[in-house]
Every structure is written in structure tokens, then in C-alpha cells.
């Protein structure tokens, strides 16, 4: 799919996105461990759908090598559970038997929601426009819906690895992987990529998808990212970990050990109302260990300011108790108080003091006019 363009050659564009074409002359898209990226034609877009394969062509519009690879990619996307995108290109001559690209949008790609067979052809439902600089982050979360029924073509001899059952298998493995990683965190140890694959017999491609999904689940739940415990022979995660999550893997492992080390397996957080509120509260975090600290303090204090009883999350902050420092590892549930923001500021300045059990509150005379009613 090459030709006269005002934008860089499509092969160069896809390579820079991390989706290099297997065959610059014949490939219509590319598959990596992150998902599948297709090239489609603007004149074949209709009402939010774009045709990605003509099943009725006789003879086929394209050579058999490119067509077989396209079918492999579409069969994988049809099974769902992975990321898929499309670059929409304009043809020099839409009526030509062998098309050449005139132009394409080099700033965004379109996410694919699902595939469907319509009047004998395969169409992709287009979703949001994703800026190319956000593509890899988006791919960590985006997953296609499974197509209805069987893929409309019988299997061909694949030109690339096509784990048709991979989505179902790696999705089913995620809860078990999570349990194993929590157990490792409680022991303060790591495992290798091979050890992470072995229990469920996952292939490298499947493990990557499972790790992406689990890592994002941890982040969304306000927990340290458990997949930081999966390391290579140097004792570090792959470079993609920091690129995906924006955190240092060493610091994240330390946060995992601190977070899960205090929590027996029987007390793994469940989706209770308090836990959900704690997750939302913990989203605002700066230091790698701060998110876990905020979560623990929120739960320990019942989601309310220990001085005022305020339960409005935007007004609440987790404050370290006097004499405790996060730099010294004081990030447990009992190392802090949940305080309303203004009370937190006064507490840090020593104008409000609390007894060790929080039952007694003293207010400095300089702020007594406004806060004396909090004293007890």
C-alpha cells in the first residue's frame, strides 16, 4: 500500500507507531503484542463503519499474500479481547484495481469497537480518534468486543501467529495471576516472565495482554501495580512497564511489598462501597507509595475526617501523624489520619493536635474563634 503522498510513507508511519509492516509492498496492517493496526480506505467508510475486507471479490482486488495476512488480522480481531485500530487513507484513484495512498491522517488513528459481516463483507465499527502520542497508553486499556457468530471465512494457513483462543484463555488466567502475584508481594519476592507464563501455559503474546489488563486493573483500583513483580534476568521489568504506567518499577515493587505485606490474603480488598470510595480517593497521588497510603488511611478511618466527620472525598486528605515520615517507610494504615483539607493544614502547623487514639482534639488559641467547636 504505497504511492504518491503528501504525508510520510504509510510503512514509515506505522513503523514509528511500533506497528511495522511485515511486507511493505503487500501488507494492509500489522500485528504486535499490543494489538492490530489496519489500513482502510476513506471512500469505504459509511456511518461510522469502514469496510476492511471484500469477501465477494472475484478475483480478489489484492494479491493472495496480503489478503491472507489481512484475514489473519481480522480473525484475531473478531475473537475480541485485544486492542485494534485503523488508519483511514484516501486513495489517489478509488477506481483503480491496485490502489495507491494519496493522503492519511498522521495525527490520529481510529479505535475499532468490533467487527461484523454486512452483506457478505467484513466491516469495522470505528470508535474514538486516538492521538498517535497516546496510542500505546490507549492500547493498554482498549479491547474489542467479540464479533457475533463465527468468523465468516474458514481458517487459512496462517502467515503470522494467530492465537484465536488467546483472548478467552488469557482473560481467564488474570484472576489466578493476580492471586499468585499478591502471594509474591506478601513474601517480598519476584518471578520471571517464564514463571509467570508457566502455570496457565500462556504464550508470550498472551502474557503481554494479561499483564497489560492486570496492570491497568491495579492502577484503576488505586493499588500498586502487581505486574512490577514480573522481571527479566536483570531483575527489572521490560522497558514497556515504565512507558505504559509512567512509574519506576523498583519503586512500584517497594509499594507492592508495603501494600500487600500488611494485608493477609484473606483480607484482599473486595468491591465494597467503602473500597470503591477508597479507590476513587486514592487516585490523587504523587509519590509511588502515596496512593497505597491514601487508600489504607481512608479505609482505616472509615472514609471520614477523624476530627469533623466530613465524608466529602474532594475535601479529604491523608495526613501523616506527627513524627511519622513517608521517607522512612511510615506508610501504613496507622501512620496517618484522614482529615478535612483545612484541618490538615492546621494539623501540620501544630494548631490542631490529636491524641494517639484520636479521641482528644486540642485547638490552639490563635484559631479558636473559628475552630474551637472541634475541640473535645
* Sign of the torsion formed by the C-alpha atoms of 116, 119, 121 and 123: negative
**What's the pLDDT at 123?**
92
- Residue 272 in this model has a pLDDT that exceeds 70: no
* pLDDT tens profile 323-352: 887 656 677 778 889 999 889 889 988 999
Q: Is the pTM of the predicted complex or chain greater than 0.85?
A: no
User: Cis omega before residue 59 (within 30°)?
Assistant: yes
The pLDDT of residue 87 is 95
Q: List pLDDT tens digits, range 157-170.
A: 444 444 433 345 67
> Higher confidence at residue 2 or residue 336?
336
In order, the DSSP letters of 50-74 are EEEE-SS-SS-SS-HHHHHHHHHHH
- Answer yes or no: is pLDDT of 80 > 60: yes
pLDDT for position 328: 67
Question: What is the pLDDT at residue 127?
Answer: 93
pLDDT at 229 over 90: yes
Greatest Cα pair distance, the chain, in angstroms, is 90
* 173-197 average pLDDT score: 88
Going by pLDDT thresholds of 50, 70 and 90, the confidence category of residue 280 is low
pLDDT digits 0-9 by tens, 8-23:
888 889 888 888 888 7
Confidence of residue 59 (pLDDT cuts 50, 70, 90): very low
Cell digits of residue 233:
534476568
DSSP conformation class of 340:
E
pLDDT, averaged across the chain: 79
**Domain range list for the chain:** 10-139, 166-267, 273-374
Answer yes or no: is pLDDT of 5 > 70.
Answer: no
Amino acid at each position: 500500500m504505497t504511492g504518491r503522498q503528501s504525508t510520510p510513507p504509510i510503512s514509515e508511519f506505522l513503523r514509528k507507531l511500533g506497528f511495522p509492516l511485515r511486507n511493505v509492498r503487500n501488507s494492509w496492517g500489522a500485528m504486535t503484542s499490543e494489538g492490530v493496526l489496519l489500513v482502510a480506505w476513506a471512500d469505504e467508510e459509511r456511518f461510522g463503519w469502514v469496510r476492511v475486507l471484500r469477501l465477494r471479490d472475484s478475483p480478489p482486488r489484492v494479491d493472495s499474500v496480503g489478503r491472507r495476512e489481512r484475514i489473519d488480522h481480522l480473525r484475531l480481531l473478531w475473537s475480541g479481547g485485544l486492542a485494534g485500530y485503523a488508519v483511514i487513507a484516501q486513495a489517489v484513484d478509488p477506481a483503480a484495481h491496485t490502489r495507491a495512498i494519496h493522503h492519511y491522517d498522521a495525527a490520529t488513528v481510529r479505535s475499532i469497537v468490533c467487527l461484523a459481516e454486512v452483506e457478505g463483507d467484513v466491516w469495522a465499527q470505528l470508535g474514538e480518534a486516538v492521538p498517535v502520542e497516546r496510542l500505546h497508553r490507549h492500547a493498554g486499556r482498549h479491547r474489542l468486543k467479540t464479533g457475533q457468530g463465527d468468523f465468516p471465512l474458514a481458517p487459512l494457513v496462517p502467515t503470522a501467529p494467530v492465537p484465536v483462543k488467546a483472548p478467552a484463555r488469557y482473560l481467564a488466567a488474570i484472576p489466578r495471576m493476580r492471586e499468585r502475584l499478591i502471594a509474591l508481594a506478601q513474601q517480598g519476592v519476584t518471578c520471571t516472565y517464564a514463571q509467570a507464563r508457566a502455570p496457565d501455559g500462556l504464550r508470550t503474546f498472551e502474557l503481554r495482554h494479561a499483564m497489560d489488563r492486570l496492570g491497568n486493573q491495579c492502577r484503576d483500583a488505586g493499588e500498586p501495580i502487581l505486574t512490577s513483580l514480573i522481571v527479566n534476568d536483570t531483575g527489572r521489568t521490560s522497558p514497556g512497564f515504565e512507558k505504559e504506567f509512567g512509574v519506576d518499577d523498583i519503586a512500584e515493587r517497594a509499594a507492592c511489598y508495603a501494600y500487600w505485606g500488611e494485608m493477609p490474603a484473606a483480607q484482599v480488598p473486595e468491591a465494597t462501597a467503602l473500597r470503591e470510595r477508597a479507590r476513587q480517593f486514592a487516585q490523587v497521588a504523587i509519590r509511588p507509595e502515596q496512593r497505597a497510603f491514601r487508600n489504607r488511611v481512608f479505609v482505616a478511618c472509615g472514609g471520614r475526617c477523624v476530627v469533623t466527620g466530613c465524608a466529602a472525598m474532594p475535601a479529604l486528605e491523608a495526613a501523616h501523624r506527627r513524627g511519622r515520615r513517608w521517607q522512612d517507610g511510615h506508610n501504613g494504615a496507622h501512620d496517618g489520619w484522614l482529615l478535612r483539607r483545612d484541618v490538615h493544614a492546621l494539623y501540620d502547623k501544630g494548631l490542631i493536635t490529636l491524641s494517639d487514639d484520636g479521641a482528644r482534639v486540642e485547638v490552639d488559641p490563635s484559631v479558636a474563634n473559628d475552630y474551637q467547636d472541634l475541640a473535645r
